[in-house]
Structure 1
Amino acid sequence: MKVQRTVSVNRPQTAVVAYLADFGNTVYWDPGTISCERTNQGPVDVGATWRNVSSFNGRTSELDYRLERLEPARLVFVGRNKQATATDDLRFAADGAATTITYNAEIQFNGLLRVAGPFLHGRFEKLADEVQTSLQAVLETL
């Protein structure tokens, strides 16, 4: 399952990328996230990891996320557990003092859950709409 949303905010790209690079901040902008704790030490850089607890379609799940790419115009996080692999790919474009974020999210289910994937797409789209609204609101307050 894949979704894409675009968000424009009146904040500089460097500030937006710096904020979103810390995946622990998902608790503030992702309505599905219950908690997101850093699981390693050091600066937020490629290889940084988090344990994300989220709720989706009435179920709670834990995924271990890793920051795979950290670039001035792109962040990629990959989360895994036995049931699924989730990829959050965020791309950034500056427009004067504003920033446009193109947010791509993908979930690949493993095992028996693969069968359920197509039936969950509508809920995934709804969550993406909620993330879009919340992300814009939070980033505008940076």
Structure 2
Amino acid sequence: MIKVERNILLPVPLETAFSYLEDFERTEEWDPGTVRCVRVDTGPVRPGSTWHNTSRFLGRTTDLSYRLEARDPARLVFVGVNSTVTAKDELLFAAHSAEATLLTYQASFRFKGLAGLAEPLLRTKFERLADAVTERLPSVLAQHAR
């Protein structure tokens, strides 16, 4: 399994950060690997809500079905699956100040079958992707809050 973790200081209050990030459809805006993400079900976002995500990684496009597995006051867990990988995004929120949030972003990838043999080669690529999220997300959230 590949696991990456980043602590990201977001320039918005905790409630704003949580509200924005609980809608996984917005990954198109802040995750450089996401090409498209569409909500499949309707109604308020809640555990069990689902999204269809199309990502591009190493020049290849892949589709995953994501589900919100946990929605606690300061924690969101999204799990995406397809035939070759199970991806888990866990977001932990803590108030840094009245106007800023510290986000701990954890992403893990468990490859299935023969795809698992490529894990050692892919770790660096996922680290770079996590770095790109760290660079992009604060400015995207700042724009959204205006």
**TM-score band, normalised by the shorter chain?**
over 0.9
Aligned to 1:116: 118
Query: What amino acid is the match of 1:21?
Result: E
Instruction: Spell out, residue by residue over 1:9-59, the C-alpha distance to the aligned partner (whole angstroms, 9 max, x if none).
Output: 221101100110000000000000000000111111111000000001111
Query: What amino acid is the match of 2:102?
Result: T
Q: Any residues of structure 2 matched to 1:24-39 within 5 Å, and which?
A: 24-39=25-40
Aligned to 2:53: 52
Rounded to whole Å, the distance in 2 between the matches of 1:108 and 1:59 is: 18
The share of aligned pairs that are identical, in percent, is: 49
Structure 2 unpaired stretches of 5+: none
User: How many residues in Structure 1 have an aligned counterpart in Structure 2?
Assistant: 142
Aligned to 2:67: 66
Aligned to 2:129: 127
Is the CA contact (8 Å cut-off) linking 1:32 and 1:55 kept in structure 2?
yes
Q: CA deviation at 1:80?
A: 0.3
Instruction: Spell out, residue by residue over 1:45-94, the C-alpha distance to the aligned partner (whole angstroms, 9 max, x if none).
Output: 11100000000111110000000111121000000001000000000000
RMSD over aligned Cα atoms: 0.7
Superposition misfits of 4+ residues, deviation over 3 angstroms: none
Is the CA contact (8 Å cut-off) linking 1:79 and 1:86 kept in structure 2?
yes
Structure 1 unpaired stretches of 5+: none
Is the CA contact (8 Å cut-off) linking 1:14 and 1:72 kept in structure 2?
no
Is the CA contact (8 Å cut-off) linking 1:67 and 1:75 kept in structure 2?
yes
Rounded to whole Å, the distance in 2 between the matches of 1:44 and 1:124 is: 27
Aligned to 2:101: 99
Mean Cα deviation higher: 126-135 or 21-30: 126-135
Aligned to 1:18: 19
Give the TM-score of the pair, scaled to structure 1: 0.97
